[in-house]
Amino acid sequence: MFIKNSDSRTSQYNMIVVTGGAGFIGSAIVWRLNQLGNDNILIVDELGIDEKWKNLTSLKFADYMNKWEFLDKIESGIDFNIEAIIHMGANSSTTEKDADHLIENNYEYTKSLAQYSIKNNIRFIYASSAATYGDGSLGFADNEGEINNLRPLNMYGYSKQLFDLWVLNNKFDRVMTGVKFFNVFGPNEYHKGEMMSVVCKKFLEVSQKGRIGLFKSYRDDYKDGEQKRDFIYVKDAVDVLMYFLKHPEKSGIFNLGSGVAHSWNDLAKAMFSAIGKEPYIEYIDMPETLRQKYQYFTQAKMDKLRKTGYKTRFMPLEKAVEDYTGYLKDKKYL
């Protein structure tokens, strides 16, 4: 049952729903909303058996609700007085092979929330992914006219692509905002297992053993460790989402990366520097199951976001890694 928090600070805000609110980016959004003085937040998620519930322990919010219960309630007409839905909930595993599950969880569920939002004039912001760009051969420009031509390399990316196309085909990009996340890293991702960022996954290896293992390259045009990604710190990512929340007129589908491609070697050196050790990098075999689905280069085109008036500069990679290692040393949460 939903019980509204009676805190006097809460009453000045209408409800903001954050789906996936116990997850990595979702909990960081709640953290930022709390910093802005808002705790009239309904967290919608599916906690399961991992430890993402720990992301919630330091956060302030009105209530928590299971994702399927929330869907049942809004479809039955219950009015939560919702101002906005920030939809981060999804199965984000790029190695998930259950296509039916991804269609139901990432596509159909998102459609239901979007339709409810449109019907009730609720601000809707949702997570897409840079995985929709596939091998990058068509570039990384967030031009709506090119989205239909993209060919994702995995089913996760395709589930996100399907929803982007649904938005465009129905012209809902005029009233809602999607963000194509690139490689987001930062506190509160500790529960993600194999989907954790390399910074999180390799922190103990670097800090305790003084070395790091990175995947070898299997393309002649990339040396080992020189495969490149657009890394963006989670604190920068949520600031962009707060901007879109504040400016509902900024609708459309936007990239959300730093706009700069760094190699895995760059990232590793930033980790060694933050920890105060000399770099020692070993190159290891990439699992064969990944070799045909591996992105060798990603770099978000960020002109579209900047043209909306967003002027805040993103934290340089070295500074972001340094900030993050301050959390990793004691596994601190936002």
Q: Catalytic residue numbers? A: 156, 192
The per-residue DSSP string of 62-131 comes to SEEEEHHHHHHHHHTT----EEEEEE--S---TT---HHHHIIIIIIHHHHHHHHHHHTT-EEEEEEEGG
The torsion angle over the Cα atoms of residues 235, 240, 246 and 249, rounded to 10 degrees, is: -170
List beta partners, residue 85. 17, 124
Strands 228-229 and 262-263: antiparallel
Task: Decide: helix, strand or coil at residue 178.
Answer: strand
| Distance between CA atoms of residues 34 and 7, nearest Å | 13
41 phi and psi angles, rounded to 5 deg? -125, 130
| Distance between CA atoms of residues 93 and 76, nearest Å | 31
